[in-house]
Each structure stands twice: as structure tokens, then as C-alpha cells.
């Protein structure tokens, strides 16, 4: 069930969001907060996993799990948002592996009692660039502009994670009647 955390009225408390671009080599994360003055960047970075080597998938997943736990514990987001798995018929194994990564991310958030909100890549790109087919560079530049950064965030995984979080906040700006939830609710 999709649930939005409490969204404060115009003058109420801020909301802190963690965006995640899941990966089994590099997972990008970004922590942003919406305040009365606007949206601010709190922290952004990557969790680097050990290289694939034989049967070390459990080790790589453990590293990802612990990394997400540390970031959630330190920054205490009210919601974790992550990009949904994109699957391509030519690369089914990639989708399976990404499913593992998303699973440990969801578990880490759940154990911290933080709700998880998935967003499609197309929706994220549309939200931050105005184009659902935007390139990685366009997403990087949109994030750079949003946070007045001197250069586009690198690696692109960081920009993607910040775009996920921004997309979620942009969803909150949409009037409640325009949000379609499958079995979800606003509170």
C-alpha cells in the first residue's frame, strides 16, 4: 500500500525525504528537505559495493543494507523514495539483481519504520526536467539548477537519487484529487 507521510500545511513543519537510485555497484542517495523557504539539499553521496566476484552477491547486498541503515539512522528521513526496477527483455538477469538491491533497501527502511515510496524512471524525469525521456545529463543539470550547485552532481547516481527525492516532493504539490493511489491513502 502506498502511503504519503503527513504533509504539513503551508506554515507547518518541514518534510525530509531520502531519494535512492539503487544499484549493485553504486547506489546513489540524496537527502533533501522542504522548508518554508524552499527545498534544501542536506546530504548526497554514494554507497560503493564490492565488485561482483563469483558468488559474493550476499556480501554486496549486506554492504548495501548496512550503508542504507547508516544513512537513514544519521539523517532520519520521513520517507524513502526509490526508483522502480526497469526491466528490458534482453537483460532479464539485470532486473532480478536490481530486485535484490531494492529488497534490501526496502527492508532497511522498514526496520527503521520509514515508509517507502516507489517512482518510475519516466515519472522522475518528467517531474524534474519536464521530459519523461530526458538523458542522464539533463537530469544532472536540472538537479544542479534546483540546488544552485556549481557543477552537475557526479557520479550520475547522486543526481538520479536527488531527482527521485525531488520528484516525490513535486508529487506532494499536486492537489490530492489529482493523485491516483492503488489502495493507498493520504494522511
**Which neighbouring-strand residues pair with 40?**
33
| Alpha-carbon dihedral angle through residues 128, 152, 29, 23, given to the nearest 10 degrees | 90
- Taking alpha carbons only, the member of 2, 57, 52, 46 closest to residue 22 is 46
Inter-axis angle of helices 156-173 and 121-129, nearest 10: 80
Active-site positions read 21, 83, 157
Give the pLDDT confidence of 13-35 residue by residue, as tens digits: 789 999 999 988 999 999 999 99
The CATH architecture to which 15-175 belongs is: 2-Layer Sandwich (3.30)
Task: Spell out the domain ranges in the chain.
Answer: 15-175
| 118 vs 165: CA distance, rounded Å | 10
Give the pLDDT confidence of 51-107 residue by residue, as tens digits: 988 889 999 999 999 999 999 999 999 999 998 876 666 667 777 888 899 999 999
Amino acid at each position: 500500500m502506498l502511503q504519503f507521510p503527513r504533509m504539513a500545511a503551508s506554515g507547518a513543519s518541514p518534510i525530509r525525504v531520502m531519494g535512492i537510485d539503487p544499484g549493485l555497484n553504486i547506489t546513489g542517495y540524496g537527502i533533501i528537505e522542504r522548508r518554508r523557504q524552499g527545498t534544501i539539499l542536506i546530504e548526497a553521496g554514494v554507497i560503493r559495493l564490492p565488485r561482483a566476484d563469483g558468488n559474493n552477491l550476499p556480501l554486496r547486498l549486506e554492504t548495501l543494507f548496512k550503508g542504507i541503515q547508516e544513512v537513514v539512522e544519521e539523517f532520519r528521513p520521513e520517507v524513502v523514495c526509490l526508483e522502480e526496477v526497469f526491466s528490458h527483455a534482453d537483460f532479464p538477469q539485470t532486473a532480478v539483481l536490481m530486485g535484490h538491491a531494492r529488497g534490501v533497501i526496502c527492508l532497511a527502511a522498514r526496520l527503521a519504520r520509514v515508509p517507502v515510496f516507489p517512482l518510475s524512471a519516466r515519472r522522475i524525469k518528467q517531474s524534474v526536467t519536464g521530459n519523461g525521456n530526458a538523458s542522464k545529463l539533463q537530469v544532472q543539470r536540472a538537479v544542479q539548477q534546483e540546488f544552485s550547485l556549481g557543477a552537475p552532481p557526479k557520479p550520475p547516481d547522486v543526481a538520479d537519487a536527488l531527482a527521485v527525492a525531488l520528484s516525490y516532493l513535486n508529487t506532494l504539490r499536486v492537489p490530492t484529487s489529482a493523485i491516483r493511489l492503488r489502495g493507498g491513502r493520504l494522511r
